[in-house]
Amino acid sequence: MLDPNELTVHTLTLRQLGSAEQLAEINALPIADVEAALEKAVADGAVMAARGNYMITPAGREFLDDVYLRAFAGLRADPAVTDAMDSFETGVNKQVLTLTTDWQTIEVDGARVSNDHADADYDARIVEKLGRVHEKTQKVLQPLAQQNPLVDRFLDRIGAALIRAEGGETDYVSGVRVDSVHTVWFQMHEHILRLTGRERPE
């Protein structure tokens, strides 16, 4: 388990350049704790501050590498976690990426062009499939979620993005500037890669 200081520095690897409020949204700490952690991390040289936004430094990354070894040794040795990650990478993660691409581009006469979102049925089918993958992911990541409560928070935030997408807020599938399904999915992916000490397979 990470203490609030470690968790806050770790959160800056999931979202580069964030305010205390934005980081608290990701890591679920009270905002006062995040602010205190940031202040300490800046003093230690692990984090840089720029006009209310924060960024991790190379020293901060080295600090985390040591923290992970200590905090997640048990989790990394758990074969159920390894199986869950293998299943995640080859199954639901690939499905989400493919569905996101289907969401952004449609096929017109054999060529892929950007989706103008004029076909509500097409969009609804993709969001529906994303919903099913989301439900499946909750099962797949169960072994991690049992040892790291933040995993469930990511899944809840993905669920919230799905609801907004279902309501016609099309930015909430793959938009970069909002907490879209894809944005939060990638934060979660980065989080569990760091937890388990694995490399991103591409």
- x/- mask, another protein, residues 12-41, rule CB under 8 A, reads -xxxxxx-----------------------
Written as one string, the DSSP assignment of the chain is: ---HHHHHHHHTTTSSSB-HHHHHHHH---HHHHHHHHHHHHHHTSEEEETTEEEE-HHHHHHHHHHHHHHTHHHHT-HHHHHHHHHHHHTHHHHHHHHHHHHHEEEETTEEEE--S--HHHHHHHHHHHHHHHHHHHHHTHHHHHH-THHHHHHHHHHHHHHHHHTT-THHHH-TTTT-HHHHHHHHHHHHHHHHTPPPP-
Question: Rule CB under 8 A: which of 47-86 touch another protein?
Answer: 50-51, 53, 55
Q: How far is the CB of 43 from another protein (least distance, A)?
A: 19
Among 45, 90, 105, 149, binds another protein (CB under 8 A): 105
Binding region for another protein (CB under 8 A) out of 35-43, 70-78, 147-155, 186-194: 186-194
Residues that bind another protein (CB under 8 A): 13-18, 50-51, 53, 55, 94, 97-98, 100-101, 104-109, 111, 113-114, 116-122, 124-125, 127-128, 131-132, 135-136, 139, 159, 162-164, 166-167, 171, 174-177, 182-183, 186-187, 190, 200, 202
